[in-house]
Every structure is written in structure tokens, then in C-alpha cells.
Amino acid sequence: MIRCKYCNSDKVVKAGKHKSEKYGVRQMYLCKKCKRRFVEESKAPRYSDSFKEKVVRSVVFEGLGIRQAGRVFKLSTTTILRWIKDFKKTKQCEQEN
């Protein structure tokens, strides 16, 4: 049974389809309780922490450019920049403790 990802209600009905170039055609749902639309599951890729660290280390410590890293690892430059920012935050927290 499909549940609303916002309010966890089971009062959900089909509400058309969403077509995107990246994910193809996906079923949309409407929650009758909170009136929000959503797709059942995200098909966005999930990367392990070790892979993220590998990419960040290649940019920060090995001198690989962000655009070049994007081409090598097949990632968006925005994604790489966000990972670098997150990596800096976690390292600062570790150093404070």
C-alpha cells in the first residue's frame, strides 16, 4: 500500500503521470489528507560515503579540477561542490571535539 511521504496517510489516489528526461514516465499520487502530490519513490542515485570522500579527496588534495572531476566521475559540478562543503563541515566538527 502506498503511503503519503509527507503525512504518512494511506488516503492516497493516483493523480496522473510525470514525464522527465532523466527518469522517464513515473506515476504521480495525491494525498487526500494533506493535498500534496508526490511520486512513490525517488530514483535518484545514492552514493556511499566512501565514494563521496574519494571524489572530494581527488579535488581537494590531488588537485583535480571540479569540472574535470565531474567528467571523470560523471557527476554534476554542483554535486561535487556540495560534497566539498559538507566534507569541510564534518571535518570542522571533528576538530572541535
CB 88 within 8 A of CB 96: no
Number of domains in the chain: 2
In this predicted model, what pLDDT tens digit does every residue of 31-67 receive, in sequence order?
Answer: 999 999 998 776 667 888 899 999 999 998 998 999 9
Indicate whether 36 and 10 sit together in one domain. Answer: yes
| Eight-class DSSP state of 56 | H
Indicate whether 74 and 58 sit together in one domain. Answer: yes
Give the per-residue pLDDT at 73: 94
Indicate whether 61 and 33 sit together in one domain. Answer: no
Indicate whether 53 and 92 sit together in one domain. Answer: yes
Indicate whether 65 and 91 sit together in one domain. Answer: yes
Indicate whether 4 and 35 sit together in one domain. Answer: yes
**Rounded to whole angstroms, how far apart are CA atoms 27 and 70?**
31
Tell me the residue range of the domain where 6 lies. Answer: 1-41
Indicate whether 55 and 92 sit together in one domain. Answer: yes
Sequence-distant (≥ 6) Cβ neighbours of residue 33 within 8 angstroms? 4, 7, 9, 11
Give the per-residue pLDDT at 43: 60
Q: Which long-range contacts (CB under 8 A, 24 or more apart) does 31-34 make?
A: 31/4, 31/6, 31/7, 33/4, 33/7, 33/9, 34/4, 34/6, 34/7, 34/9
